[in-house]
Chain A
Amino acid sequence: MAENQSNKVIIHAENVDKWFGNFQALKNVSADINEGEVVVVLGPSGSGKSTFIRCINQLEEHEAGVIVVNGIEINDDSRNLQKIRSEVGMVFQQFNLFPHLTVLDNVALAPRKVKKMPKQDAEELAMAGLTRVGIPEQALKFPTQLSGGQQQRVAIARALAMQPKIMLFDEPTSALDPEMIKEVLDVMRELAESGITMIVVTHEMGFAREVADRFLFFSEGEIVEEGTPDHFFNNAQEDRTKLFLSQIL
Chain B
Amino acid sequence: MSDNTQPNSEISLLQRIRMIYEDSDAKSQLFKTKLHTVITLVSLVIVVWALFTIAQFLVTAEWQVISDKRRAFMIGRYPEEHVWRIWPTVWMFAGLAGLSSALWLRPGRRMMISLFIAAAIVSYLFLEFDSNALKFGFGLLLGLCGYALGYFTYTKVSLNALVVRIAVLGWVLLIPVILVLLFIGDAPSTNYWGGLFVNIILAAIAIVVGTPLAVVLALGRTKEGYPIIRILSTTIIEVVRGAPLIAWLFMGRFVLPFILPSWFGLNEADVIIRTMIILIVFNAAYTAEVVRGGLQAIPKGQYEAANSVGFNGWQTLRLILLPQALRAVLPSLINQYIGLFKDTTLVYLISVVDVLEVGRKAFNELAYTGTALEVLVFVGFLFWIVTWSMSNLSKKVEENLGLGTR
Contact = CB atoms under 8 A, between A and B. Distances in A.
B27 to A, nearest CB: 37
Contacts, number: 67
A92 B309 CA distance: 12
B309 A110 contact: yes
Contacts of B319: 109, 113
B305 A114 contact: no
B307 A85 contact: yes
B305 A100 contact: no
B309 A59 contact: no
A82 B310 contact: yes
Interface residues of B, number: 21
B308 A57 contact: yes
A154 B166 CA distance: 34
A162 B310 contact: yes
Interface string B272-310: 000000000000000000000000000101101111111
A159 interface: yes
A110 B320 CA distance: 11
Given A82-B312, A100-B406, A142-B402, A59 B307 contact: yes
Contact of A114 (B304, B310, B402, B406): B310
A155 B299 CA distance: 16
A227 interface: no
Given A82-B312, A110-B310, A92 B324 contact: no
A99 interface: yes
Interface in A17-68: 57, 59
Contacts of B307: 57, 59, 85
B301 A162 contact: no
A88 B312 contact: no
Contact of A88 (B302, B308, B323, B327): B308
Contact of A92 (B304, B311, B315, B401): B304
Residue among A110, A142, A143 facing the most chain B CB atoms (10 A cut-off): A110
A89 B324 contact: no
Contact of B301 (A57, A96, A142): A96
A142 B302 contact: no
Contact of B304 (A59, A97, A143): A59
Interface string B326-337: 010000000000
A144 interface: yes
B297 to A, nearest CB: 12
A86 B402 CA distance: 32
Contact of A85 (B308, B323, B324, B401): B308
Nearest to B326: A100
Contact of A89 (B304, B308, B311, B406): B308
5 contacts: A59-B304, A82-B312, A90-B305, A109-B309, A145-B406
Interface of B: 299, 301-302, 304-312, 315, 319-320, 323-324, 327, 401-402, 406
List the 6 shortest-distance A-B pairs measured between CB atoms, nearest first. Answer: A96-B305, A96-B301, A110-B309, A90-B308, A86-B310, A114-B310
Given A88-B308, A110-B311, A113-B319, 16 more contacts: A59-B304, A82-B312, A85-B309, A94-B299, A94-B301, A96-B302, A96-B305, A97-B305, A98-B302, A100-B323, A110-B310, A114-B311, A142-B402, A142-B406, A143-B406, A162-B310
Interface of A: 57, 59, 78, 82, 85-86, 88-90, 92, 94, 96-100, 109-110, 113-114, 142-145, 155, 158-159, 161-162
